[in-house]
Amino acid sequence: MVFGQIFIETLIGFLCLFVLTKLLGKSQITQITAFDFISALVLGELVGNALYDKEVGIPQILFAVFLWGILIYTTEVITQKLKGTRALLEGRPTIIIYKGKLQKDNLTKGKLDINQLQHLLRAKDVFSLTEVEYAILETNGTVSVLKKSLQQTTTRDDLNLQPESVPLPRSVITDGEVIWDNLQEVGFDKAWLLEQLKQQQISSPKDVLYAEYKEGEALYVVPY
C-alpha cells in the first residue's frame, strides 16, 4: 500500500508540474529570473515533501500546486500589464562594461567578481575584456556582449556581397529511425532517401545514426 500510494502521488505530482509548465510557457524554462528560480524551488518542495508525508494526500498536492500556479500566473499577468512592476519582480539588465570600460559599481551590484565575469564572457567566445565594447548582465544571469568593431565577425554586407537565402537543415534520420515529417517537408520520399543512402553504400536507414538534409547539398550521413 505504501509503495502504491507513493507511485500514485508521484505520478499525480509529475503530471501537475508538467501541465503547469506548459501553461506558464517556455519563458519559465529558458529565462530563469530570481522569481522564477524561487518558484521552481517551491514547486519542487511542495511535491517532494508531499510524497513522503503520510498526512498529505493527493487533494493536498493538487491544491498546493494549483494555488502556487495561480500565484505565478497572476504575477506574469501583472508584469505584462504593468511595466512598473517588472523591475521589482523580474529585475533589470545591468551594464557592466560600457564603451570598453568595466563598471565596477554595477559589477558589485550584480554580485559578480572578475572570475565569474570572465567565465560568462568565455561562454560568449570572448577571452579578453579588451575585446568588449558593451556587456550587459541580463536578469537571468547571462551576459550579452557587443564586441568592439575590430573584433566583430565580418558579414556579407560589410563586403558588399549580394544576400543569399539561408536554408534550414532538417534531420531526416536519427538513431536509425526515419523522420517522415521532415522528409516530406523538404519534398522527398522514401525512394529518394534510399537512393541517397545507396550512393553512400548504406543499405538501410537502420544503419544510420544521423542523417541531415540541407538544400543544395548532398545528404549528410553518420553511419553506426
pLDDT tens, position by position, 36-85: 666 667 666 766 666 666 676 667 777 777 777 777 778 778 877 887 77
CA dist., res. 93 & res. 96, Å (int): 9
Global confidence as pTM: 0.57
pLDDT tens, 214-223? Answer: 888 889 998 8
CATH code of the region 94-151: 3.30.240.20
pLDDT tens, 154-179? Answer: 777 777 888 877 788 889 998 889 99
Q: Which three cell numbers stand for residue 84?
A: 512598473
pLDDT tens, 186-215? Answer: 899 999 999 999 999 999 999 999 999 988
User: Is residue 134 within 8 Å of residue 146, measured between CB atoms?
Assistant: yes
- Domain residue ranges in the chain: 2-87, 94-151, 170-223
Superfamily of domain 170-223: bsu07140 like domains (3.30.240.20)
Judging by beta carbons within 10 Å of its beta carbon (0-12, 13-18, 19+), is residue 30 exposed, middle or buried? exposed
**Do 94-151 and 170-223 show the same overall fold?**
yes
97 sits in which H/E element: strand 94-98
- Give DSSP secondary structure letters for 168-194: PPEEEEETTEE-HHHHHHTT--HHHHH
- In the sheet that holds 143-147, the strands lie side by side as 101-102, 94-98, 132-137, 143-147
